[in-house]
Chains A and B, each alone.
Chain A
């Protein structure tokens, strides 16, 4: 039985549909990424799963409890790290931890040992007496993770945990996440950083409140049938980009320094690029020489952009192409 089983969750705020018909299953011990731009509905989905926002329709079972019927039972068995970390700046590191231990009812007999353990684990021990407000973003993030896991929850929700944190701290944070997962904690993490998405076991892509696709990063990328090349086109980058964009086989064209990055769907990107820009005989050909062709493996970000375009073609033809995140 999955740790999270969400069926057709929807939530509207007045006229705005924040989340539309979202279904997802999260298995024990996996790191499940919820990926999407800001305002796509990631946080609302998460908040429905932890029982603090009631779904307008649909249902979800989390750690064996129904989030609508028994949200409090869900709350007891999960950890939740909010976007803004929810730490008290005017309390010390230790006092914050102690507060969360009390809040989640860590038994008195276990409390002292558990606090010491978590301080040690997150490297917070030397800073235990420091006021939280004086910590840097990376340290606050560590403390927030320590607070969210103080009661050793089997399921941990992380809402944009790395926003405003330096790259070194982000990397060590993801190591901690993988350690937790290896020990059997199920983790649901929202993010709009595509590189972070690659670190998840499975992903759900949310766009305008709907899930576009779910699967491992590899599956999601493969399903798009993308082919990508980076090419050199000399001086006429702008013209080249214009004619490439006009071709229906081309999904995306982006300048990449002095080069162009061309993504095509279901056909080889190099062939298409050469055909479009190639010799004077080619349809619409400009006679631009294509040199220094490098094939690039598509990543999650490419897949996401492709999916957004796919969605736009399906729903409203006139939607402008999304800028690269």
Chain B
């Protein structure tokens, strides 16, 4: 115990004296939080749109006004022919072109109906689906209105879907992204700091003195990671507090539960950091390994892309990452107010992964030089 404490105190003193690292530990979460919170926005709005109006009637102007009113389309200009629509899209000035045919208003008045054309820049799939669904909705609403006006009474649609969105009804990205960010950041910093902490000893030649001392491997490993557990919790708190203040991210479930379950996740990442440290001779290698590991975490865990939409193989890979399960836990608790019982599946996964990492670390980490 005295030995474990000696390591932990020493490690804390080193961290405290390393102003740069210390600043990074707080600055990285804050910066990432603001970046991800503001920049990653999957709710598409204000798509620049050009209009090619062949009709120039009250009805066509009404359609344009309705589209603008949704907030999805920003009408950035009127053009005179198809070539100009294409040019605007190709030049990036617009992502959508609305083409209203001649006789638009006349055909509507005659009751035969008229078809407006919407030209969408397909390079960003997210814009396509939003632009199309909104346009179709506008057309349907308008058609219904016209039909009602003609028939003089409201008809009933045969099939209707009544949406009831739980937990993030305004569908704000930040609410989804910020809790996940806790997981991504903890993965990055915990793995990086532990792997670098051991690699540093190796690089500076102090590891030999540790190996020749009577300290046990487990005391060395635990003593090394204790200070970083504290740092992990500090980072997590920073994100939760700033997330709540700036982005209005709710915490519906038990904070105590969140902190308790986070321990398993933090420990799993620290253990992995130890495994990485046994493969790296220098701090630089440790850092490279960390970033190599971070990428699949961001892509396969469900942090940015829906887990259910991934191919089966990618899902299997994703299940081996602690982040995947932690994301479900942290989103479950903050957004849906989930309880332990509801998270038991993730808990089992996370604990198993932790066990595997610890086993791997203790197999790899030997008190021998050669």
Determine if chain A interacts with chain B.
Answer: yes
Stretch of B142-150, B175-183, B203-211, B274-282 at the chain-chain interface: B203-211
Pairwise interchain contact B211-A52, C-beta atoms closer than 8 A: yes
Closest to A79 in B: B212
Chain B residues with Cβ under 8 A from A104's Cβ? 213-214
> A27 interface residue, CB < 8 Å from B?
no
The residues of B that contact A89 with a CB separation of less than 8 Å are: 204
Q: Contacts A82-B205, A103-B210 hold; do A53 and B9 have CB atoms under 8 A apart?
A: no
Q: Kindly report which residue of chain A lies nearest to residue B8, judged by CB atoms.
A: A102
**B→A interface (CB under 8 Å):** 2-3, 5-7, 9-10, 13-14, 17-18, 204-206, 208-216, 367-370
Give the docked Cα–Cα distance between A53 and B368 (Å): 6
Contact B205 A86 (CB under 8 A): yes
Q: A47-B369, A88-B206, A102-B5 are in contact. Are A80 and B14 (CB under 8 A)?
A: no
Which residues of chain A (15-58) have a CB below 8 Å from chain B?
A: 44, 47, 50-54
A99–B212 contact, CB under 8 A? no
**B17 cross-chain contacts in A, Cβ below 8 A:** 90-91
Q: Is the interface of B mostly helix, strand, loop or mixed?
A: helix
Let me know if B6 and A102 touch, CB within 8 A. yes
A182 to nearest B CB, angstroms?
Answer: 25
Q: B368, A54: Cβ atoms under 8 Å?
A: yes
Docked pose: A80 CA to B17 CA in angstroms: 27
Instruction: Let me know if A103 and B7 touch, CB within 8 A.
Output: yes
Total residue contacts A-B, CB cutoff 8 A: 84
The 10 closest A-B pairs by CB, nearest first: A102-B6, A86-B209, A84-B205, A76-B214, A80-B212, A53-B370, A75-B214, A99-B10, A86-B206, A103-B213
Chain B: CB-nearest residue to A106: B2
17 A-B Cβ contacts within 8 A? A13-B370, A52-B212, A82-B212, A88-B206, A90-B13, A91-B13, A99-B9, A99-B10, A100-B213, A102-B3, A102-B5, A102-B7, A102-B10, A103-B3, A103-B214, A103-B215, A104-B214
Cβ-defined partner of B6 (8 Å) among A83, A86, A103: A103
> Which of A44, A54, A82, A91 lies in contact with B209, CB distance below 8 A?
A82
The reply to whether B206 and A87 form a contact with Cβ atoms under 8 Å apart is yes
Please indicate the chain A residues that have their CB under 8 angstroms from the CB of B18 in the complex: 90
B3 touches A105 (CB 8 A): yes
**B205 adjacent to A52 (CB under 8 Å):** no
User: Counting CB contacts under 8 A, is A95 at the interface?
Assistant: yes
Q: State in angstroms the CA–CA spacing of A75 and B17 once bound together.
A: 30
Given A85-B205, A102-B2, A105-B214, output 10 extra A-B contacts at Cβ < 8 Å: A53-B370, A80-B212, A82-B208, A90-B13, A91-B14, A95-B13, A102-B5, A103-B7, A103-B215, A105-B3
Taking the closest CB of chain A, its distance from the CB of B336, in whole angstroms, is 45
Query: Which chain B residues border A175 with CB–CB below 8 Å?
Result: none
Determine which residue in A89, A91, A99 has the highest number of CB atoms from chain B within 10 A of its CB, and name it.
A99
CB distance from A107 to the nearest CB of B (A): 8
Give the nearest-CB partner of A81 in chain B.
B209
Indicate if A266 sits at the interface (CB-CB under 8 A).
no
Inter-chain contact A95/B10, CB cutoff 8 Å: yes
For window 59-90 of chain A, which residues contact chain B by CB distance below 8 Å? 71-72, 75-76, 78, 80, 82-90
Q: Determine how close the nearest CB of chain B comes to the CB of A112; give it in whole angstroms.
A: 14
User: With A and B bound together, what is the CA distance between A63 and B216 in angstroms?
Assistant: 20
Q: Which residues of B contact A86 (CB under 8 A)?
A: 205-206, 208-209
CB nearest to B207 among chain A residues: A86
Q: In the assembled complex, how far is the CB of residue B215 from the closest CB belonging to chain A, in whole angstroms?
A: 6
Interface string of A85-129 (1 = CB under 8 A from B): 111111100010011111111001000000000000000000000
